[in-house]
Chains A and B, each alone.
Chain A
Amino acid sequence: MIKIDGLYKLFDGKDVLRGVSLGVRKGEVIALIGGSGSGKSVFLKHVVGLMKPDRGRVIVDGMDMSTLRGRDLTGLRDRLGFLFQGGALFDSMTVFENVAFPLKEKTKLNDKLIRERVFNELEHVGLSGSEYKYPSQISGGMVKRAALARALVMDPEIMLFDEPTTGLDPVIGAAILNLIDSCHKRLSFTGIIVTHEIPKVFDIVDRVAMLHEGIIWADDTPEKLMSSSEPIVHAFVGESANSSIRHQSGNTVVRG
């Protein structure tokens, strides 16, 4: 469904991506992990065509993202959903208007049907009762949920998540990951989750790819990656997992 082949990207003379190659099969969800500034978000923006590669190709459902223009690009994007790190909700619109926006603009549904679908989607993400609040009036976790509802309301075939749990406390973070999992079971989308949420994200993905020094350093099942003896993978996954456990136990102590 998604095939990235030898992706190169330079920023100010620094090569952020140095020949990234990765494939995602239809219906599969993979996690993309890696240190801060390793180019994960840049990678994701190439997949949706917000950035053009210096070299290499991004093939989505047989079409080269880097050369698509006009209606072809719009047509492909209609089948994509993207959850931004900060939600990217339109701040002058209510939660309801945000979720209804793509339906109003991209479909010919009447107001009644739009209302039904929006309320249904907001119920799925646990935002019933917050429909008429503005993004500035709700919490970070609720913003992410609303953004997820907006991304899913068009039933996308491909969903991309850019650090969906960043800035959220562990409980809300876990709830967002569970929500992504339940949405995947409901809609069967193909997905890429860029995250630091190790090892929690391992429970909801089929594969994990690790981006390091501008290339895919490791690409395997969560179980194999967890038990990997490769020094860098071991150091990153092991340390992230330990840090997560310490963080959670720390929370328990504070709450207790």
Chain B
Amino acid sequence: MNYIRTLGAVSLVYLRRMGVMGLFLLKTFFYVFVPPLKFTRVLKQIRFIGLQSTSVILLTGGFAGMVLGFQGFYSLSRFGSDAFLGPMVGLSLIKELGPVLSALMVTGRAGSAITAEIGIMRISEQVDALELMGLNPYRYLIVPNLIAVVISMPLLTAIFDVIGILGGYLIGVKLLGVSAGTYFGEMASYVDMKDIMEGIYKSLSFGVIIIWVCCYKGFYTGIFTGFGAEGVSKATTQAVVMSSVLILVWDYVMTSLLF
């Protein structure tokens, strides 16, 4: 009997937290459309989430493309289809790897920092101070991040895709001898606008997931995740793990819907 009671209590706790998390997202969307918008903070966050993530995106995009170049050439040449290396690299990057890997990189670089920053503000009562000044913490801390990620994520993904395609070109064309015309020509024939839009939709939704989870975890530090430095550390870890898992799960859902 006690076992059932404990199970019930734990389930209720998790259900409540899921409800709080859902309401957190709804409130964030609500305040996106209720002025005033903190424009300077939006610009600051675009710089932090977007501009400062560029180097890591360039690096990971380049290497992801080069690996695809090798692996693609190896698989396709077994069937005598190495001319299709361009479409293979392009479609893999644009539809899947670009959005997913960019989102995972942004989670690790910017998402974790956002959780830690808001978490520290929460435990040092800076969030309470904002509220007591009659200022809305969502408007100051959450909404600028959401707008910034919605602007930055598709651009970062596009950069990832382009650099990845160039990485594939470097390996396929310059190292393994596929002709440049074939690489790009076949890519142009097989990659449609629909594929590009799929990548953009994915990157947008992954961006929302990152900000939703990371801001939520920071905002409720000390309430759901323990106190002090340990609380911030736990919140940051949970934010990165939960965002990454949700990105992969949501990727599956979107892929199956857009298939």
Residues of A within 8 A of B249 (CB): none
Kindly state whether residue B125 has any CB partner on chain A within 8 Å.
yes
**A250 to B258 alpha-carbon distance, docked (Å):** 76
Q: Are B131 and A88 in contact (CB under 8 A)?
A: no
Identify the stretch in B50-58, B132-140, B212-220 within 8 Å (CB) of chain A at 4 or more residues.
B132-140
**A75 to B135 alpha-carbon distance, docked (Å):** 10
Which residues in window 68-118 of A have CB below 8 A to B? 73-75, 77-78, 80, 82, 84-86, 88-91, 101-102, 105-106
Q: Are A88 and B134 in contact (CB under 8 A)?
A: no
Across chains A and B, the number of contacting residue pairs, with CB separation under 8 Å, is 43
**A48 to B133 alpha-carbon distance, docked (Å):** 11
Kindly state whether residue B18 has any CB partner on chain A within 8 Å.
no
Partner among A74, A75, A88, A106 whose Cβ is within 8 Å of the Cβ of B125: A88
Partner among B124, B131, B135 whose Cβ is within 8 Å of the Cβ of A50: B131
**A50 to B131 alpha-carbon distance, docked (Å):** 8
Q: Are A77 and B126 in contact (CB under 8 A)?
A: no
Q: Are A102 and B133 in contact (CB under 8 A)?
A: yes
The 0/1 profile, CB within 8 Å of B marked 1, for residues 106-134 of chain A is: 10000000000000000000000000000
Kindly state whether residue B197 has any CB partner on chain A within 8 Å.
no
Q: Are A82 and B129 in contact (CB under 8 A)?
A: yes
| Nearest-CB residue, chain A, relative to B120 | A91
Category for how many chain A residues contact B: 20 to 34
Kindly state whether residue B128 has any CB partner on chain A within 8 Å.
yes
Which residues in window 81-128 of B have CB below 8 A to A? 120-121, 124-126, 128
| Nearest-CB residue, chain A, relative to B128 | A50
Q: Are A88 and B135 in contact (CB under 8 A)?
A: no
Q: Are B133 and A88 in contact (CB under 8 A)?
A: no
Q: Are A105 and B128 in contact (CB under 8 A)?
A: no
Q: Are B128 and A77 in contact (CB under 8 A)?
A: no
Q: Are A80 and B125 in contact (CB under 8 A)?
A: no
Q: Are B132 and A48 in contact (CB under 8 A)?
A: yes
Q: Are A80 and B126 in contact (CB under 8 A)?
A: no
Q: Are B132 and A82 in contact (CB under 8 A)?
A: yes
Category for how many chain B residues contact A: 10 to 19
Residues of A within 8 A of B125 (CB): 84-86, 88
Residues of A within 8 A of B126 (CB): 88-91
| Nearest-CB residue, chain B, relative to A77 | B134
Residues of B within 8 A of A85 (CB): 125
Residues of A within 8 A of B131 (CB): 50, 77
| Nearest-CB residue, chain A, relative to B139 | A105
Q: Are B124 and A106 in contact (CB under 8 A)?
A: no
Q: Are B133 and A91 in contact (CB under 8 A)?
A: no
Q: Are A77 and B124 in contact (CB under 8 A)?
A: no
Residues of B within 8 A of A105 (CB): 133, 135
| Nearest-CB residue, chain B, relative to A92 | B117
Partner among A78, A84, A86 whose Cβ is within 8 Å of the Cβ of B134: A78
| Nearest-CB residue, chain A, relative to B133 | A102
Residues of A within 8 A of B133 (CB): 77, 101-102, 105-106, 154
**A82 to B133 alpha-carbon distance, docked (Å):** 9
**A77 to B137 alpha-carbon distance, docked (Å):** 14
**A105 to B135 alpha-carbon distance, docked (Å):** 8
**A105 to B126 alpha-carbon distance, docked (Å):** 16
The 0/1 profile, CB within 8 Å of A marked 1, for residues 122-159 of chain B is: 00111011011111000000000000000000000000
Q: Are B132 and A86 in contact (CB under 8 A)?
A: no
**A106 to B135 alpha-carbon distance, docked (Å):** 8
Q: Are A84 and B135 in contact (CB under 8 A)?
A: no
Residues of A within 8 A of B129 (CB): 82, 84, 88-90
Question: In the complex, how many angstroms separate the beta carbon of A43 from the nearest chain B beta carbon?
Answer: 15
**A74 to B135 alpha-carbon distance, docked (Å):** 7
Residues of B within 8 A of A102 (CB): 133, 135
| Nearest-CB residue, chain B, relative to A73 | B134
Question: In the complex, how many angstroms separate the beta carbon of B186 from the nearest chain A beta carbon?
Answer: 51
A selection of 14 A-B contacts at a CB cut-off of 8 Å is A50-B131, A50-B132, A77-B133, A77-B134, A84-B128, A86-B124, A88-B126, A89-B126, A91-B120, A91-B126, A102-B135, A105-B133, A106-B133, A154-B133
Interface residue ranges, A against B (CB under 8 Å): 48, 50, 73-75, 77-78, 80, 82, 84-86, 88-91, 101-102, 105-106, 154
Not counting A88-B125, A106-B135, a sample of 13 additional A-B residue pairs whose C-beta atoms are within 8 angstroms of each other reads A48-B132, A50-B131, A77-B131, A77-B133, A82-B129, A82-B132, A88-B126, A88-B128, A90-B129, A91-B120, A105-B135, A106-B133, A106-B134
